[in-house]
Structure 1
Amino acid sequence: MNACSSALVRLKSREALIGIVGLGYVGLPLMLRYNMIGYRVLGIDVDASKVDALNAGLSYIEHIPGSAITQARASGFEATLDFSRAAQCDALILCVPTPLNKYREPDISFVVSTIDSIRPYLREGQVVSLESTTYPGTTEEELLPRIQDAGLTVGEQIFLVYSPEREDPGNPDFRTQTIPKVIGGHTSQCLAVGVALYEQAIDQVVPVSSTRAAEMTKLLENIHRAVNIGLVNEMKIVADRMGIDIFEVVDAAATKPFGFTAYYPGPGLGGHCIPIDPFYLTWKAREYGLHTRFIELSGEVNRAMPEYVVGKLMDGLNERGKALKGCRVLVLGIAYKKNVDDMRESPSVEIMELIEAKGGMVAYSDPHVLVFPKMREHCFDLHSEPLTAANLASFDAVLLATDHACFDYELIRQHSRLLVDSRGKYRQPEAHIVKA
Structure 2
Amino acid sequence: MNEEVAVIGLGKAGLPLAAVIADSGFNVTGIDLDPDKCEKINSGVNPIPEEIGLDELVEKHGGKNLKAHPDYEKARECQVYIIIVPLYIDETNNPDFSILESACRNVGRLIEKGDLISVETTLPPLTMEKLIKRWIEEESGLKLGEFYLAYSPERIMTGYSISRLREFPKIVGGVDNESGKRGYEFYKKFVPNISLVSNARTAEFIKVIEGCYRDVNVALANELFKIAEELGINFYEAREYANHEYCHIHLPSTGVGGHCIPVYPWFLIKEMEKREKFEHARLLRTARELNDEMIEYWAMKIISECLKIKKPLLEVKICIKGISFRDRVKELYHSRNLALAEYLRSKGMNVFVYDELFSKEEIEELGFAFNEPRNA
**What interval of TM-score do these two structures reach, taking the shorter chain for normalisation?**
over 0.9
Contact in 2 for aligned 1:130/1:162 (Cα 8 Å):
yes
Unpaired segments ≥5 residues, structure 2: none
Quick one: which of 188, 195, 211 aligns to 2:184? 195
- Give the TM-score, by structure 1 length: 0.80
Alignment of 1:346-361 (within 5 A): 346-361=335-350
Q: Which residue of 1 is the match for residue 141 of structure 2?
A: 151
Distance of 1:115 and 1:230 partners within structure 2:
35
Distance of 1:19 and 1:234 partners within structure 2:
45
Alignment of 1:294-305 (within 5 A): 294-305=283-294
Q: Which residue of 1 is the match for residue 32 of structure 2?
A: 45
Alignment of 1:176-191 (within 5 A): 176-191=165-180
SS for the counterpart of 1:96 is coil
**Alignment CA distance shift 1:211-1:54 (3 Å):** same
Q: Which residue of 2 is the match for residue 241 of structure 1?
A: 230
**Alignment CA distance shift 1:324-1:296 (3 Å):** farther
Deviation at 1:260, TM superposition (A): 1.3
Q: Which residue of 2 is the match for residue 331 of structure 1?
A: 320
Distance of 1:77 and 1:368 partners within structure 2:
28
Task: Confirm or deny that 1:281 pairs with 2:282.
Answer: no
Q: Which residue of 1 is the match for residue 112 of structure 2?
A: 123
Give the AA of the match of 1:263.
Answer: H
Distance of 1:163 and 1:369 partners within structure 2:
33
Could you report, residue by residue, the CA deviation over 1:282-315 in whole angstroms, capped at 9, with x for unpaired residues? 0111222211111000000001111111111111
- Give the TM-score, by structure 2 length: 0.92
**Alignment CA distance shift 1:19-1:250 (3 Å):** same
Contact in 1 for aligned 2:101/2:135 (Cα 8 Å):
no
Deviation at 1:381, TM superposition (A): 4.6
Distance of 2:210 and 2:10 partners within structure 1:
23
**Alignment CA distance shift 1:220-1:151 (3 Å):** same
Task: Confirm or deny that 1:54 pairs with 2:41.
Answer: yes
Contact in 2 for aligned 1:86/1:122 (Cα 8 Å):
no
**Alignment CA distance shift 1:277-1:178 (3 Å):** same
Distance of 1:329 and 1:170 partners within structure 2:
29
**Alignment CA distance shift 1:153-1:341 (3 Å):** same
Task: Confirm or deny that 1:77 pairs with 2:66.
Answer: yes
Contact in 2 for aligned 1:370/1:383 (Cα 8 Å):
no
Alignment of 1:315-394 (within 5 A): 315-321=304-310, 325-370=314-359, 380-381=366-367, 385-386=371-372, 392=374, 394=375
**Alignment CA distance shift 1:373-1:93 (3 Å):** farther
Could you report, residue by residue, the CA deviation over 1:119-170 in whole angstroms, capped at 9, with x for unpaired residues? 2212112111111112111111211012222211212x21101111111123
**Alignment CA distance shift 1:172-1:29 (3 Å):** closer
Deviation at 1:382, TM superposition (A): 5.4
The sequence identity of aligned pairs, in percent, is: 27
Distance of 2:312 and 2:230 partners within structure 1:
22
**Alignment CA distance shift 1:74-1:105 (3 Å):** closer
Could you report, residue by residue, the CA deviation over 1:74-105 in whole angstroms, capped at 9, with x for unpaired residues? 54211100012232211111111111111122
Give the AA of the match of 2:355.
Answer: D
SS for the counterpart of 1:175 is helix
**Alignment CA distance shift 1:16-1:83 (3 Å):** same
Distance of 1:17 and 1:341 partners within structure 2:
32
**Alignment CA distance shift 1:46-1:241 (3 Å):** same
Task: Confirm or deny that 1:114 pairs with 2:114.
Answer: no
**Alignment CA distance shift 1:49-1:75 (3 Å):** closer
Distance of 2:68 and 2:312 partners within structure 1:
52
Q: Which residue of 2 is the match for residue 16 of structure 1?
A: 3
SS for the counterpart of 1:275 is coil
After superposition, the CA RMSD in angstroms is 2.2
Could you report, residue by residue, the CA deviation over 1:410-434 in whole angstroms, capped at 9, with x for unpaired residues? xxxxxxxxxxxxxxxxxxxxxxxxx
Distance of 1:284 and 1:324 partners within structure 2:
46
**Alignment CA distance shift 1:353-1:100 (3 Å):** same
SS for the counterpart of 1:88 is coil
Contact in 2 for aligned 1:327/1:361 (Cα 8 Å):
yes
**Alignment CA distance shift 1:75-1:384 (3 Å):** farther
Distance of 1:134 and 1:173 partners within structure 2:
22
Give the AA of the match of 1:266.
Answer: S
Q: Which residue of 2 is the match for residue 266 of structure 1?
A: 253
Contact in 2 for aligned 1:96/1:110 (Cα 8 Å):
yes
Greater helix fraction, Structure 1 or Structure 2: 2
